[in-house]
Structure 1
């Protein structure tokens, strides 16, 4: 049996998904060169692993990260749960600053929001003034992954992770899927067909703009955007060749990344507490 080695660091750096994957291909995952441990990197890697697992092509071997920090982080985050026969010894699961990787594959995402609020409590942060807004932001984005990223409505899947940085009192949240993206979701209902990907993301941020034909939909992303702005945070969305960013200054950055399109959609936001 011929085993193909896939360098996960290269895929994450280039925001790609492995091509020509099928059950007749067996791959060994190499995390040897993975150096970054931010939630956005981990959610993307987990999406890639899940995609390979769905194709039943992961070989039981894995090439571990050479960076001990990354190796420990990957184990703590449950990154290798989908790899057959994989065991990671001596994992210390509890870490107050991390919200472990969570899979998004349904619309019951209150649990994920609850994990974030629990992390806030563990870090001694007051939550009464923010808990409702955070719950709304997290569940809205997670539900969007389920509703919109699949080939058909309500068949999407992806991953969520979060981390608190105590030195700067900032919480970072990351959502990632390898689905059809904003363009594919709107194409399903033949809406906004003439817009470039970055303009399409901008449009989706407006209230009552949705790829689903329902006058009550299209509120979620607009509300998430308002919440992030209210807490002087920042939000970044990449979907295929579209890039959209609202920094803390509030001046929107919107452009095309035609040379390095993202496979799927990633949404990250930060808020200062």
Structure 2
């Protein structure tokens, strides 16, 4: 007599339930990804060269080239040039967000993140958060260079802190645009090239280095509506005079609009590819 043993079968067609990730977990995971971004600075310190050396070089170069011609001497020119260099340096630094994001996507880093039980948005949020440290370093070094050269703003500590915070917030908002470019474009070099092509006219064709009154009439029309000009004026009002003027409001409003419009588009485009 033959006995047939029947082995229990396992239903392999049942899908594995998706793990629910709370808002608190998403924030924690985003901070972990931000820490990963900071570790990249430790292992590749050359990534900080732009925020460390660019403010020093630009401040010294523009101050000694234009100081005598514009204001008579370098010291008198510093209240004009330091806020301009600050805005230019920090905004230009935000380009790195898009280029590094594109490089990580090209190297397959985000493919590995996709296999982890984490919120899919956390790598993007972490990258944007880590870059705030870059903006802070650039802001600190720009002001420190100015102080070493004799810059003494009358806005006090609160004006100094408010000016730095405003520039950092505006740079963070603009980084969403470059993050979107990093998601949509195919090469990091393309992101960097096009970003510089856009930012250089905006930063140089502004009131960052010289008075608007010295420019041709047709150029004044553009400079007066240039968002960078409003930001530079706002920083000058806060740092030099401690005054919360209308340009501060325009800068905050512009940054808020960028985040409100571009951030959802960037997240949606990123979620399709990540």
Normalising by structure 1, report the TM-score: 0.23
Instruction: Name whichever structure is richer in helix by fraction.
Output: 2
Instruction: Name whichever structure is richer in strand by fraction.
Output: 1
Relative contact order (alpha carbons < 8 A, sep ≥ 6): 1 or 2 greater? 2
Q: Which has the larger radius of gyration?
A: 2
